[in-house]
Each structure stands twice: as C-alpha cells, then as structure tokens.
Amino acid sequence: MVTQAGPARAKPLWVLSALGVLAACMVAGLLDGAADISPWQVVLQVVDWLPFTDVDAGLAPVEEGLLFELRLPRVLVAAVVGGLLAVAGAAYQGVFRNPLADPYLLGAAAGAGLATTAAIVLLPAVEGSIPIAAFIGAVGGVFLAYTLGNTAGRAGGTATLVLAGVAVTSFLTAIQTFIQQFKVEELQRIYAWILGDVGGGWDQLWLVLPYAAVSAVLLLLHGRMLDVLSVGDEEAMSLGVRAARVRFTVLLAASLATAAAVAVSGLIGFVGIVIPHVVRRLAGGSYRIVLPLSLIGGAAFLVLADLVARTVIAPAELPIGVVTMFVGAPFFVGVLRMTRRAVT
C-alpha cells in the first residue's frame, strides 16, 4: 500500500530543504582537495561565479584554475550522476512495485561492463571510447532484457521482465569475463571503472547533461501516473491510464538515465535503493514527491560520498563505489528485513 504524501503546502519546504542540503554538500566538496586553499577564499570564489556578482576571492591563477578545472566539474558530475541513479531507482521501484528494484535491474550494468571491457581490450588507443561504449552497452542490455521479457507476452508481467534482466545480466557478465582473459594486464583498469569514478572533468559533464535533462524531465512528469499504477493495472485502466504505455515510458526514461550515469561514472551501486527509501520515510510515498526529492537527495548523497572517498585515506583515494557499498549494503539488508516482515 502506498503511503500518502503530506499536504501540498509541505512540498516547497521539502524541496527547499533538500536543495539546501545539496548546496552545503557541493560547497563542502569544493573545499576539500590536495591543494591547501582557504575555505573562505573558496566560498568567495563560488559567490564570484554566481550571475551578477563580482567578488575578489584573492586566489592565484593556478588556484583558481585548480578549483574551476578539477574540483567544480567533479562535484557537478557527482551531483548529476547521483541524481540520475536515485530518480531512476525510485522510478523502477514504482514500475515494479518492489522496494528492492534498482537502476541496474534490467541488465544496464552488465551491458555497460561488457561494452567497456571490449573498448579497453579492443580499442585501447581510441580516446573517448569508454563513455560511448558504456552508454551503448547499457542501452543494449536493457533492450535485450525488455525484448526477452516481452516474449512471454502480457501474462508474465513485471516479474518476467525482472527474470529476463537476471538472465541477460548473467549472460553478458560471462562474455565480459571471457574477454578479460585476452588482456589480463588491463584488469586493473577495468575494475577501476567498475568501482566508479566521477573525476572525468567538464567533457564528461557536457556528455551526460542532455540525456540527464531529457530522462529527468520525463520521469518527473510521470509521478502522478506512478501513483495510479501503485494501486494495480486494472484500477489504473478504470481511471483512464494506459498502464502498459506508462510502464514502457518510465522504463525507457529510467534506463536512459542509468545509461547516461554509467557512461561517465562507471558502476556506482546502491544509490538507487538508499535514497528513495530515505525520501519515503521522511516525506511520504507519493511519487510526485519521491521523484523530485530522490533527484536532489541522490545528488547530495553522491557528492558527499565522493568527498569521503577523497579524504578518508588521503592523500590516496578510495573508489567512490566502495563508499556507496559501505553505506548501501547494510541499508539493503535492513530494507530486505522490513520487506519480509511486511509480507509475513
């Protein structure tokens, strides 16, 4: 049963609070780095970047370049990727009516992993091949799972689609493992990508933004439809909602968001499970609230996770995927236990 959201007037307060948390996390991400820059100077420089402001932060050209070329794009990429994974996770959970659904459910991760491995092994000299390969692989994995799931017809429903995703994931992972054996020396590079990285710079940000904008807008526009689907397909059809069409559109948009995120960051797990559940606990279960707050909350969470990855063993750096696993794995177990109690 879906928990109803609070009164409509509470929405702006939740959104403003979430945006405040995101802004604080982004400023914290800018403050930290290998170079010793005064926090006050960083804050002044951020103010100077705002429209219609002109503030002298007193930074040397090298420091300003480091802040603008390294830290700022890293924070922005983390925010975009985290937001996409979280809103896609919320959408998948709404479509499948399953709190354990996540953005990698339909073979996106396996497809991206296979395509990236193939690009590293077969096209090592082609610059920029990894993001493109990851995007194509993620979309291809979802397409295979969706096509396989549809062979069962309507009788299978979402359960058949999930099983198709499991089958496609296993098959593509097996192919990836086989390809890895041809270049064992590239295993470190492959696993570094699998564990996630948001330090790709401005090029990665510009690459992901168009897909992020399209997929996020589509998902946010379907919040009310997901609320209707949560009561069942027959009830939705009685209200004039075409359940199959809504489900296909939401799956397409969520898969596009996942593919775009994977293309620039690698495989970063658990964001799509952790954030939507936290949002539901705090703000209610209506997808008109869950989707936008997951988008903002996921952005804040991954920026914070990246900050932890950069500082916990400084001057060395943890892969960001390791940080999200440390948080997400215990959380997943907790969600699993709560779901089991709810069923029994």
The neighbour count for residue 76, using CB atoms within 10 Å, is 20
Distances (CA, A) of 215 to 102, 187, 237: 16, 32, 25
**Cα separation of 288 and 14, whole Å?**
12
| Short-list 97, 236, 241, 225, CA closest to 158 | 97
Residues 6+ apart with CB under 8 A from 192: 266, 319
Quote the Cα angle for 246-252-253, to 5°: 90
Per-residue pLDDT tens over the stretch 243-269 = 788 888 998 899 899 989 988 888 898
Domains of the chain plus CATH, in order, are 10-343 (1.10.3470.10)
Tokens of 226: 């997901």
Which two structure tokens, joined as six digits, stand for 267? Answer: 């495989």
Compare 121 and 58 and report the one with higher pLDDT. Answer: 121
The span from the CA of 215 to the CA of 257, in Å, is: 5
What's this model's pTM, rounded to 2 decimal places?
0.87
Query: For the chain, first and last CA: distance in Å?
Result: 14
Rounded to 10 deg, the angle between the 287-311 and 271-283 helix axes is: 130
Give pLDDT tens digits for 296-340. 999 999 999 999 998 888 777 888 999 999 988 888 777 667 765
Checking if the pLDDT of 182 tops 90, the result is no
Whether the per-residue pLDDT at 5 is higher than 50: the answer is no
Q: How far apart are CA 44 and CA 47, in angstroms?
A: 5
pLDDT of 67-83, one tens digit each? Answer: 888 889 999 999 999 99
Residue labelled with tokens 């991206």: 112
264 in Cβ contact with 208 (< 8 Å): yes
Residues 201-228: tens digit of each pLDDT: 898 899 899 999 999 999 999 998 888 8
